[in-house]
Amino acid sequence: FWGCIQGLRGAYYIAEGLGPNRAAPRSRLYSLNCLDWSLLTPATKEMLALAEQLNGRFQGDPSFEYNLADINAEVAARLIEGGKEPVIKEEARLIATIEQIDRAVGIVPRGAFVKTPLGSVHENRHFEGLSLLEAKKLSSYFHFTEPVNLKNKTLLEKADLDPSTDFLDSLEHDIPRGSWSIQLEKGGTVVVLRSLLWLGLTFYHVPMTKQFGYVYFGTGEKNLDLPFML
């Protein structure tokens, strides 16, 4: 279960399917009633670009159409030139939003996954959880997506990294700084990270165990005011 995006007229309940290779594209399903599930198509670059033009709440109706001519005339004109209608369905916006959230704030503890020499990513059978000291640091958590900052590191910085476990970007360099809140709950036995950029994303890890995960319960809107709130 991935989470829930709350719309004005209904909510989207979302589930993700993962294969043995965790770096492979995920299968995503959504439901309006938790009984009937529909498979979502993979997100495309165009879908992500168009979804960024939209703001405001989701309606809760997958067939609802947003008219881009009312939102961004330039983008709408480009679509018309390409022989496409200047509209985007809410289902496409849902696909793009889930992808954006997974890329931006989908996180895992350091060492939970290993990368093989062939490039596939698998669960680390030797991972026994972070120590309580390590679990309190942002540098102990990684974005589970294609790294960006890692490629920009110098050879000296990479010298201390283990290529099989340190193949992702850590949270310590996230922009804006302060976009994560770390809290200890249940008397310090559970570490909880909450994203202030995508409000509603909560990650948990029980130190010294293999238990970790994240769930999203929100409106599917990015907190664009965050830089002014910090």
By the 8 A CB rule, do 203 and 212 touch?
yes
Q: What predicted TM-score, i.e. pTM, was given to this entire model?
A: 0.86
Average pLDDT along the chain = 85
How far apart, in whole angstroms, are the C-alpha atoms of residue 15 and residue 187?
Answer: 31
Give 113's contacts (C-beta < 8 A, 6+ positions apart).
22, 121, 122, 123, 124, 127, 144, 165
**Neighbouring C-alpha atoms within 13 Å toward the C-beta of 176:** 13
Q: Which two tokens stand for residue 75?
A: 């983008």
Which tens digit of pLDDT belongs to each residue from 122-145?
888 888 888 989 889 888 898 888
Same-domain pairing of 36 and 23: yes
How far apart, in whole angstroms, are the C-alpha atoms of residue 152 and residue 178?
Answer: 22
Same-domain pairing of 72 and 112: no
Same-domain pairing of 99 and 116: no
In which band, very low, low, confident or very high, does the pLDDT at 160 lie, cut at 50, 70 and 90? low
Same-domain pairing of 11 and 70: yes
Q: Could you tell me if residue 32 is inside a domain?
A: yes
Task: Please report, rounded to a whole number, the percentage of residues in the chain having pLDDT higher than 90.
Answer: 39
